[in-house]
A and B are shown apart, each in its own frame.
Chain A
Amino acid sequence: MTKMSTSIEEYQPSEAELVRRAFRNQRKRQSTLVAFSSTVIVAVLVFWGLVSTPGWDRVSETFFNWDVAVAASPRIIDGLFLNLRVLAMTAVSVLFFGLLLALLRTLRNPVFFPLRIFSKGYVDFFRGLPLIIVLYLVGFGIPGLRLEFLGRIPVEILGTIALTLTYSAYVAEVFRAGIESVHPSQRLAARSLGLSYSKSMRLVVLPQAIRRVAPPLMNDFVALQKDVGLISVLGAIDAVRGAQIEVAKFANFTPYVLSGLLFVLLAIPTIRFTDHIAQKLSKREQSGSAL
């Protein structure tokens, strides 16, 4: 007969449980060892395969040249700051316009019918249109209108406008999915307390929706982080364009590799942060950890 107790201090694991734990620990050590050795083997094989290719010496000279990397870095890093400025401006405006588009689609009053249709059409159109075409149309089209009172619009502003146009369409869909994922009973409870439609949206539905879509929003942010490099097609001297200039100067591709690595480095903290948030959210509703 087992002695029943809810006390933490007095509890002694049974013989059977101790055997299970020992077995699990041994298994764990085994899998760690297997994972480690297979990683080493794969890494060695890949490296050896690469180095032993006939053209390796030339490739390492033209793509991984340390001296060129050092010489090119000031211009690339300068350019990266331009990318970061565009990223910041775009992220803020995308959040605003994306949410606005999503909200327009939820309006049910017939007065707003044209706005609802506009939002739907907009999202369809800009999700289909390649970003690079939007960049060309905005980057060369808006200045082409010759709006003298605006003066000369800086390229980074034009780039921000183009990126905002496209990304707002994606983010609007994320927000809309979030709004629709809030259970109708929450809205029902809000309305039954006498809250108006807009107040129940603002105070009850949106706060829950935004929390829920944080991970996919961050994912779009990661995508945006590298797509800001596309403003180079407008002639802005950003990291990509800066690298291109250095490539031409040295007749060596290392600057491209360098700017690519910098973009990856920039993205990694955001990616880790996204994982962290997603994990935290899923932990709250998870059970059945053995599966």
Chain B
Amino acid sequence: MSDINSPKARLIAKGIRKQYDDRVILGGVDLEVYPGQIVALIGSSGSGKSTLLRCINLIERIDDGQMWLEGEDIAKPGIDEDAVRQQIGLVFQSFNLFSHLSILENITLALRHVQGKTSEEAKEIALGWLKRIGLGDKADSYPDKLSGGQQQRTAIVRAVALNPKLLLLDEVTSALDPELVGEVLELIKDLKQSGTTIVMATHELSFARDVADWVIFLDKGVIAEEGEAKEFFANPKNPRTREFLTRLKQG
């Protein structure tokens, strides 16, 4: 059991519970994330992966449990939720780029209106990121003119440009054509190398095995098994885990 106030952990979540009426989505989930780590959440649809990410971002209210971001209690009553969200990025399966804004404006919006940067500063940061992902020439295009992979990479960059303490990725490749998945995974790998701390819900098992540090298998709202990535996939202990892994490999 680790110390809650350990300065080392970026995020600690304890006993996170979420239910709708009499349906339990999360039945008390513990999670620890350390700086620079990628934690992969796997599990079938409806296992609670997305809900857990939304709870951490305070977009869903938790029904029980506690959470600390760098030792700060982010689940205490009266917490400034906007201020917490400014430090935690969340990227969605469906990209959710702002359709009335250009790619560049999508990225500069929060830089300007949340972080208070001037439009020149924001533009410089955004262009830097767009060049890094090879979309420098698309800066003035609108989201509907981009491929799914390009849109999703823009959405990730929109979150990362704010320099969040924690980046949450909610099945960011699930809505993409198979041939577009690779470019998005490349970007995530790239972000890990530059030290971004990430929690990602994913169905890309081989990516989780190769790039994640820690893997958590959620089953019906509870952690069925977790472990260091290589070990987790090489030696799954829980029969449910084994069943899930075989089913996904066959599918």
Contacts and interface: CB of A to CB of B under 8 A. Distances in A.
B72 to A, nearest CB: 15
A195 B110 contact: yes
Is chain A's interface secondary structure helix, strand, loop, or mixed overall?
Answer: helix
Nearest to B112: A203
B114 A193 contact: yes
B94 interface: yes
B153 interface: no
Contacts of B57: 192
B57 to A, nearest CB: 6
A189 B96 contact: yes
B66 interface: no
Interface string B171-211: 00000000000000000000000000000000000000000
Interface string A195-233: 110010001100110010000000000000000000000
Contacts of B109: 193, 195, 203-204
B86 interface: yes
B130 interface: no
Given A191-B85, A192-B90, A185 B96 contact: yes
Interface string B225-237: 0000000000000
Contacts of B17: none
A153 to B, nearest CB: 41
A188 interface: yes
Contacts of A185: 92, 94, 96
Contact of A189 (B98, B113, B114): B98
B23 interface: no
B59 A188 contact: yes
A194 B92 contact: no
A192 B98 contact: no
Contacts of B92: 185, 188-189
Nearest to B83: A194
Interface string B125-147: 00000000000000000000000
Interface residues of A, number: 17
Contacts of A89: none
Contacts of A191: 59, 82, 85
A203 B90 CA distance: 19
Contacts of B97: 189
A186 interface: yes
A190 interface: yes
B249 interface: no
A186 B96 contact: yes
Given A199-B113, A203-B109, A193 B96 contact: no
Contacts of A199: 113-114
Contact of B86 (A188, A189, A194, A204): A194
Most chain A CB within a 10 A radius of its CB, from B87, B92, B100: B100
Contacts of A193: 85-86, 89, 109-110, 114, 158-159, 162
Contacts of B246: none
Interface in B143-171: 155, 158-159, 162
A196 B82 contact: yes
Given A192-B89, A195-B114, A208 B59 contact: no
A198 to B, nearest CB: 11
Contact of B85 (A194, A207, A208): A194
Contacts of A192: 57, 59, 85, 89-90, 159
A193 B113 CA distance: 10
A188 B82 CA distance: 12
Nearest to B97: A189
A196 B109 CA distance: 12
Contacts of B82: 191, 194-196
A188 B155 CA distance: 13
Contacts of A190: 98
10 contacts: A189-B96, A189-B98, A189-B155, A191-B82, A193-B86, A193-B162, A194-B82, A195-B114, A196-B82, A208-B99
Interface of A: 185-186, 188-196, 199, 203-204, 207-208, 211
Q: What 10 A-B pairs have minimum CB-CB distances, sorted nearest first?
A: A194-B86, A189-B96, A193-B110, A192-B90, A194-B85, A194-B114, A185-B96, A207-B100, A208-B100, A196-B82
